[in-house]
Chain A
Amino acid sequence: MLEIKDLHAKVDGKEILKGLTLSVGAGEVHAIMGPNGSGKSTLSYVLAGRAGYEITGGSITYKGEDLTTMSPDQRASKGVFLAMQYPVEIPGVTTLTFLKTALNAQRRARGEKEVDAVGVLRLVREKAAAMKVSEEMLKRALNVGFSGGEKKRLEILQMALFQPALAVLDETDSGLDIDALKLVAEGVNALRAPDRAMLVITHYQRLLDYIVPDRVHVLSAGRIIKEGGKELAHELEAKGYEQIIKDAA
């Protein structure tokens, strides 16, 4: 599904990713763990194609295609989804309008028929109950005045709605209390599927108690320095990043 080879990337002229190599197959859930400043968020933005994140070397292949030549909206319509750490507020645009616009833009790009307002509402309602997203939330402006938990639930609702092939979850646990975390994790787990790959980016092992990964990668200074099964997350929790990084060196 996703092949990243010797990836180098710069932000504001500073090299953040320094030869990152990673392979995620269909149906797999991989966790990327790393200390602050290791390049976790940069990796997620590079995958999504955010402006200002410049690839200076290496390659990203997604479903056999070169991902780096696609615009961010093209990537989205081809099934790349990034659940953001800080979902953005858009005043005056209701959540439902936003969902409808996004869904239909993706469908249009894929040459599929657009869904009318009634159809979108039906689809959204189907997914909203599981994420405890109320009708009232759907009528409010996108993310405006939403609590941290509401914002993250809405991100997962969107993931359920768009049915991406590759979902990148950037620090989805940040700012969540334990109940909200469980709810979000259940939502994510429900979306595990043989034709879907997930990349769960997190600082803490806590999230991985609920979303159990197939593989864990430790990111430090822009490179993967250690890989392992789900037990690696517990080892990290016990030893701390500093020790693991020292051991790997």
Chain B
Amino acid sequence: MAAIETREKVAELGDKYKYGFVTDIEMERAPKGLSEDTVKYISAKKNEPGWMLEWRLGAFARWKEMREPNWARVHYPKIDYQDAYYYAAPKNTPKKQSLDEVDPKLLETYKKLGIPLHEQMALAGVAVDAVFDSVSVATTFKDKLNEAGVIFCAISEAIRDHSELVKKYLGSVVPVSDNFFATLNSAVFSDGTFVYVPKGVRCPMELSTYFRINANNTGQFERTLIIADEGAYVSYLEGCTAPKRDENQLHAAVVELIALEGAEIKYSTVQNWYPGDENGLGGIYNFVTKRGDCRGARSKISWTQVETGSAITWKYPSVILRGDDTVGEFYSIAIANHFQQADTGTKMIHLGKNTKSRIISKGISAGKAQNTYRGLVSVHPKAEKARNYTQCDSLLIGGECGAHTVPYIEARNPTARIEHEATTSKIAEDQLFYCLQRGIPQDEAVSLIVNGFCKEVLQQLPMEFAVEAQKLVSISLEGSVG
């Protein structure tokens, strides 16, 4: 009897991270370690023009002089940057003309991930640029987007085909030397997504990229660049998963958004990288730099993130409110369970007049996890009548986890109005009992209460992804009340 129970338990644990499979495809890798040669190898693999290689080498030179930051409330063993591969791609992948040419095993992987790449995509009206490790293998809906004049492609392709745009904007929001991880990314980024929406165009569909780390011991360094020209609008969703492995994997992405006059960019993330097991073994180190620049007047950038995965999350999607009358928003749900550590938040930099920012952060901690909100609201001297509203709510499940709120506020203009509200609460025993008494089982009750707690943020997600995010919230917290 006991043996059966144990086996059932093991099976149960195994099911928890349902994206933890490995696809067996032959990989092509750069030699292990990080050197100028690695950078050159990657650049050559991508058939990049000379200016791009120079840019990368410049970044690499800077990176060698930099130190890993240690101010975040996260703890992890020292990363050996020489003990990893910086490039991995499925072998034999010349550019595909259609989905039929894609390795069926890859498509199978996407199917397991629940990405409806083929006909389901058509129904959902979502264009997907799927990134499998480092190479973008399939791009859909190109024609429809082409018609509207929207460029949506792998960044490696954009570097070759739209080099003027890339040259003009790459690194203009997150400079090469911005921070340790961003600089590393600048040197070795392997692929990612490029979006350009021309003047006055409203992108006809939600754009979406699914990132997935597959290969062993490979860092994934995507680079995303989105430009909304004057009066343009685009909504973009990024989803991430990674297979289960015992060792930790590094993920250091850079995302740059540029909104010109009157443009609007909505960027949503559902991050479900492998979080490590119940004992804190394995999991992704997610060190990401995301920043948007409201460069033109009356532009708007909105970040929405649902962060349920990764062993460590270090991420502060920010908005520079450069133009007058610009708006920056940050809606975040960060869930940390077991031994996960999350240090996340945002920076709202008010430079222009009448700029407005809004921050809604919902942190949920369970198990032995630590969850930190770290945010900066900075109002510069010329930012007349800047407004900010910040609300940080933390929910604790169980007695061994922690929630921390670290708000930094710098107001250098006397007309600024900044509001900050913060609450910390526990899932109350009486709430749970009430649900149970009405017949709702424990896990479902926790999920109901937590989804209620996150509602303001979930509402910001595009409809079809909100449902997925709700499910993810439930899965992440299964068995957390004991």
Which A residues contact B (CB, under 8 angstroms)? 48-52, 71-73, 75-77, 81-82, 84, 86-93, 97-98, 101-103, 105-106, 109, 141, 158, 162
Contacts and interface: CB of A to CB of B under 8 A. Distances in A.
B434 interface: yes
Determine the main DSSP class of B at the interface with A.
helix
A87 B438 CA distance: 12
Contact of A51 (B433, B435, B444, B453): B433
A77 to B, nearest CB: 5
Contacts of A82: 437
Contacts of B456: 92
Interface in B33-88: none
A109 B431 CA distance: 21
Contact of A73 (B430, B439, B451, B452): B439
A12 B442 CA distance: 23
A93 B441 contact: no
Contacts of B436: 49, 71-73, 76
A197 to B, nearest CB: 17
The 3 closest A-B pairs by CB, nearest first: A92-B452, A76-B439, A93-B452
Contacts of B418: none
Contact of B434 (A71, A75, A90): A90
Nearest to A110: B439
Interface in B431-466: 431, 433-442, 444, 448-449, 451-456
Contacts of B448: 90, 93, 97-98, 101
A13 to B, nearest CB: 17
Interface residues of B, number: 23
Interface in B373-429: 428-429
Interface string B310-331: 0000000000000000000000
B439 A162 contact: yes
A106 B439 CA distance: 5
Contacts of A97: 448
Contact of B442 (A73, A91, A92, A103): A73
B256 to A, nearest CB: 33
Nearest to B393: A91
A87 B434 contact: yes
Contacts of A51: 429, 433
A105 B444 contact: yes
Q: Which of A51, A84, A105 has the largest count of B CB atoms less than 10 A from its CB?
A: A105
